[in-house]
C-alpha cells in the first residue's frame, strides 16, 4: 500500500496477529488506510475503522488486504 491508500481486510492469520489488533478492529471486512511509514518502513501507522494503530511490518504480512479497483 502507498501512503493515504485505503483497502479492505480480506483475511487474517489469527495465530500470527496479536489479539490486541483484533480487538481494535483489524478484522475481515473492515477498511484500513495507511497513514504513515516510519523510517525503513517499520512500523506502519494505520487507521482501521477510526482506530489509529502502529503495527510492525512482520505482523502486517499476516493480514491479507484487497484494494478497490
- The band of 4, judged by pLDDT with boundaries at 50, 70 and 90, is very high
* 32-54: pLDDT as tens digits: 999 999 988 899 999 998 899 99
Supply the mean pLDDT for the chain.
91
Query: Cell 490486541 maps to which residue?
Result: 20
The 10 Å Cβ neighbour count of residue 59 is 17
CATH architecture of 6-66: Roll (2.30)
The pTM score is 0.84
Domain range list for the chain: 6-66
Give which of 26, 19, 20 is closest to 63, Cα–Cα.
26
Amino acid at each position: 500500500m502507498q501512503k493515504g491508500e485505503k483497502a479492505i481486510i480480506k483475511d487474517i492469520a489469527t495465530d500470527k496477529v496479536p489479539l490486541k489488533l483484533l480487538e481494535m478492529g483489524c478484522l475481515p471486512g473492515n477498511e484500513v488506510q495507511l497513514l504513515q511509514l516510519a523510517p525503513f518502513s517499520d512500523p506502519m501507522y494505520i487507521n482501521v475503522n477510526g482506530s489509529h494503530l502502529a503495527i510492525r511490518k512482520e505482523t502486517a504480512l499476516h493480514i491479507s488486504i484487497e484494494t478497490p479497483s
